[in-house]
Chain A
């Protein structure tokens, strides 16, 4: 596809339920990021992949959060035993290269809106 695609766009989960959020980055992009954005806040970094390798997971808030990118393209963010504080927009982003540079724009998907009730 032309852009970063995320699904589902909207998800309502009951507290305690497990959810899986999918990200399909721009074809050929090496870097993939997951961010969490609470209402009225800026995106907060969760984790980073370089191809299939998860090089940085320092932003994952708890061990209930797990991300994978097994073949270096599509990524899944899984949240186990969801809590109300997990309600947020989960943004996936990708970029062509690794290092931040003038040509290495990070493109965001439209996000998955998660509401935990």
Chain B
């Protein structure tokens, strides 16, 4: 079992719809959770982070965390064609003698928003 799992997709939604991206993780010691967006041929770009159970909203994006279920999700409201990209879930798994901030990534979910 991989440490961070995502459905590779593609997830296809019409413009204006809500896109829901999901991620599960295996290490209960995980403390912080990140969503990165990666356009084809580009580097990952941080769009959201969440540390506490519940919802965190930032503009059209909402991150949801449920530590008991080891589940984190990203909702994108009013999806736009420009949101079409791969969305990477990343988890910080502390360990060793220092909390290095090392991130473990899922394989990413490809989102396609159709006009």
Binding site for B on A (CB under 8 A): 31, 33, 35, 40-45, 48, 50, 55-56, 91, 95, 97-102, 104-111
Cβ-closest chain B residue relative to A109: B43
**How close is B34's CB to chain A, nearest CB, in angstroms?**
8
Are the C-beta atoms of B43 and A104 separated by less than 8 Å? no
Interface of chain B: mostly helix, strand, loop or mixed? loop
Interface of B with A (CB < 8 Å)? 4, 6, 8, 31-32, 42-46, 49, 51, 88, 90, 92, 94, 96, 98-108
User: A108 CA to B90 CA in the complex, in Å?
Assistant: 13
Closest CB in chain A relative to B61 CB, distance in Å = 16
Q: Once the chains bind, are B99 and A33 in contact (CB under 8 Å)?
A: no
A32 to chain B, nearest CB (A): 11
Check if B43 sits within 8 Å of A111, measured CB to CB.
Answer: yes
